[in-house]
Structure formats: C-alpha cells, structure tokens
Chains A and B, each alone.
Chain A
C-alpha cells in the first residue's frame, strides 16, 4: 500500500466501525443465533426462552448423526463437490488452453458460447435438463450428478482459466516446443504447473457452489441415499419436524463447511469470485 492511498483518519474511524459493525450484525445475527441455538435443548428452542443455551447440550449433534444420518448426506455432497469441481476444471483447462493460445476458425464462437453460458439463469432450463438427464440414464444417480455439476461449473471455470492463461507469458511453452515437445506434453508438463494458482482459485469457489446447490439436486435426486446436504436441510422441516435440535445442529454443520473453507482459503475465494465477475 503506497503513501498516496487515502487512509481513514483517527477522527472518523469510530463512524466507520459503527457502520461496519451494523452491516456485520444485519448480515450475521440470524445465522449466529441459530448456530448458538444448536446447543440448546428442544424445550428451550420451542419456548424461545433466552438467547444463550441453558443448559448446554450436544444432543442435537448426536441426533444429527444417529437419527438424521447426516454423515450419508455429507459424504454424497463431498463426492459431488470434489469430483464435480475436478471434472469442470479438467474440461475447462483443456478447452481454455487452445482457446487462449491458438487462432483457428470458430474460436470466437466457442469462446462467446462458453462464456455466455455463465449469464444464463439456469433454473429456467429445469425441464429440458431433467429430460436430458433422464434420456442419458443419469437421473437419480451419483455419477449423473457429478457429470451435471461438472457441466454447471464449466462456464465459470473456463472463463477464469482462459483469462488467466491470456495474462500468462508463453515463453516457456515456446521453449518446450523448440525442444520438440508435443501438444499434450506441453499442456501437462509446462502449462499445467503455471496455471496452478488459478486452478486452486476456481477449485475452491466451485467446491463451495456445488456444496450449496439445491435446485438441481432437488430436481434429479429422488432416492434418499443419493441426496445432498441441502436436500436434507430442506427436508428437516417436514421429515424431521419432531427433532428440531437435530435439524439445527445438522444445519450448523452444513453451513460451517463452506465457512471453514472460506476462512482457510480466503485469498483463493476472493480472487476466484473477482476474476469470474469482472471478466
């Protein structure tokens, strides 16, 4: 940070803190209250007595695993989020490299198409997506869900990776070509290591997005054993209405995963979202 940058003055700092605190409270109060409530007894939750848990109990967390079997949903979601992101990244990396480096006919069209897909409100496509998943035999299957999520994340990953490659110098690739390296040797031995920071960035963002996905999971997954955590959360209100502590504890775990990912990998998340939005 250079000296030329305006910094807040000592006199106006209190006003800034008051504003920032207000924004933080508006955004977080309900969520924090529910997370704290996950340590309450069912009786205390139903009567709404007191803000802090009294007595503190872990019964909700025990119920979340023994009664609701949250671990099954967590495992499914972990599978969708890691493999779906990996698939999107693999496809996007392989496509982004030639579309960033080579001029050929149809390049402009492909780039425009892949990028514009990012601007489609995909929920509008519900029925056709359902139809295609069914016709391809991918409906209500874990493999199908992974493939679908890879496709859903492809436009975002592609746009970020391609713009990263456009901003990366190509000397190393040219040197590799002089040494007689083939296309895929160059891609995997030279370009891939250079792209690692961008891969990490899109990987983290895409993981969180798939972790949080509800709409298509709701559309494609009917068997309970294939469902993700977001479907479990939505089901809590009806199916597990009797066990409100378990539901809240489960929801807390489900929310904490992306929060922990974000706090641990802040730099990547922020870089990824910024790159995806501005390009």
Chain B
C-alpha cells in the first residue's frame, strides 16, 4: 500500500513541496541559481519601493476585478437561462463553452489581430458604423488594460457549466410549491434558484481569482506588459526578475503572489460561506 502512494508523493514533494520551501526561504536572499547570500528583508523592501511592482499589483487586481464583475454575472445568467431548457440549449451550451478550451497563447494571437489598428476587425467594424476606428487599442495607455481584459472577461463557459451542474442538483421539491402557486419560470429562477447558487458563485469567484492572480500568458505574448507597464501583471514582473538572474527577488514577488492568493481565497470563502450548507 505504501508503495502505491509513492509515485504521487514523489511528484508532490519534488514539484510542489520543495519548490514552495525554496521559494519562501530564498526570498530572503540574493540568489542567481548558484551563489546565495542572505540579505534579510532587502528583497521585500526593494519591492515596496518599486512603483512598477505596484502597477503590476494594481493591474493584476484590475484583471481579477474585471473577471469577477463581468464574467461571473454573465456566466451565472447564461447558466440560469440554459437551466430553463429553452429549445437548443445543448447547442448553446457547447458554443458558449468552446472559448474556454482555447489557450492563452492562441487568444493572444487572435486578439493581436482583432485589435490591430489598421487591419483589425474591431476598428473596421467601428469605422463601418461611422465611429472613429483608428485607435491602437493595445498600445495606447488609455485602453491597453481594458483591451487585455477584453480577451478573457467574455469567456464565461466555465462559470456557466458549474452553475448548470449546481442547478441540476437542486431537489425538485424545492420548485413544487412555487408551481402550485403559479409562479413564472423567471420568478422561480430569481426567487428560488438564485439564492441557492451562493455556494457555487463563491466557488467560481475563488477559482477565477486563483487564475487571475497568476495571469501571464496573454499579457506576456500580447503586450509584454507594455505600454509603459500599463498591462504588466505580478507574474510577469516576477518573470522579468527571473530573466535578469535576480532569483531571490523573483521569489519575494512569487511569495507575494501566493500570499495575495491566500488572502483573497480566505476573504471570498468567508464572504460567500463557501462549503457551508445551503
């Protein structure tokens, strides 16, 4: 039996436990992979003195907030509407879910074309509508963050299917009384279903935050954090330090990412009482 635990435990120890230890400990050092010198809190002090760190933190929280504010309500609404089983709901479920299985790298390529100042669909569509269509969305500091957020906030498929699964698990009896009273499907959705979704809404917000705290792919490929760090995230900021051979500093940022993650998780769990009964 112990033998059977071994492969999993080895993978876990080598690629989760040990790296976690290395991360936290070397954050207090100057380290480039070979020589290591203990420097106490210097990395954290430097981090708190760097305005770029704060803009990366601000952007990361901005992306997380955008996802929670747009993706979650849209996804919950889509899941609730599909749970009312309009004709063709399976086709809609599949179509709305498809964007979720497309990678960040592919999205970066798609949106680099979509936002292209000259040949992109967005500007061409705006021009066709008689609106100004010459903005360079990704390289204008006024729009860059919004343009990046636009690549993922409408990908609501994951939220949608979790909500649908949760609704399917609601016992029929819950709806029976309402139907005797003759309440419409919309009323039942709002007054019966929605309050029962608290737990799953908390869960999707949690998962979304975890993804956004580590956001990297789209930003790295699409803008490399620019213009002028307007789109940089914490993960990208840490990656730059790693590229510079400043591993200790990268790990202080990495530790911060984990701490921000833990704080957000605890806060959301409390707020939505995730995991507690209905």
Contact = CB atoms under 8 A, between A and B. Distances in A.
A247 B94 CA distance: 26
Interface string B45-89: 000000000000000000000000000001001100110111100
Given A24-B95, A215-B217, A262-B98, A4 B179 contact: yes
A120 B210 CA distance: 8
A124 B23 contact: yes
Nearest to A101: B1
A90 B162 CA distance: 27
A91 B238 CA distance: 31
Interface string B142-186: 000000000000111110011001000000110110110000111
Contact of A212 (B92, B103, B124, B193): B103
Contact of B216 (A8, A123, A129, A270): A123
Interface string A244-276: 000110010011001101110010011001100
B180 to A, nearest CB: 10
Contacts of B242: 126-127, 130
B139 interface: no
Interface residues of B, number: 102
A97 B27 CA distance: 37
B23 A125 contact: yes
Nearest to B104: A214
Contacts of A39: none
A230 B8 contact: no
B113 A278 contact: no
A152 B258 contact: no
B188 A6 contact: yes
Nearest to A126: B242
Interface in A123-176: 123-132, 134, 136, 147-148, 150-152, 154-155, 158
B203 interface: yes
B181 to A, nearest CB: 12
For the complex, would chain B's binding face be called helix, strand, loop or mixed by DSSP majority?
helix
B232 interface: no
Interface string A20-39: 10011011111101100100
Max chain A CB contacts within 10 Å: which of B33, B95, B109, B123?
B109
B36 to A, nearest CB: 11
A233 interface: yes
A218 B243 CA distance: 12
Contacts of A65: none
B8 A28 contact: no
Contacts of A259: 98, 101-102
A216 to B, nearest CB: 10
B20 interface: yes
Nearest to A30: B114
B194 interface: no
A215 B216 contact: yes
Contact of A233 (B81, B99, B109): B109
B163 to A, nearest CB: 10
Contacts of B99: 27-28, 31
A158 B172 CA distance: 32
A33 to B, nearest CB: 5
A88 B162 CA distance: 24
A178 interface: no
B207 to A, nearest CB: 6
Nearest to A34: B110
A122 B5 contact: no
Nearest to A28: B99
B173 A4 contact: yes
Contact of A95 (B9, B92, B101, B173): B9
B34 to A, nearest CB: 10
Nearest to A113: B12
A230 B254 contact: no
Given A33-B114, A127-B26, A274-B165, 4 more contacts: A28-B95, A95-B8, A234-B105, A258-B102
13 contacts: A6-B179, A13-B86, A48-B124, A99-B5, A121-B257, A124-B238, A126-B235, A128-B18, A130-B33, A233-B221, A237-B112, A266-B94, A277-B203
Closest 3 CB pairs of A and B: A48-B119, A95-B8, A212-B103
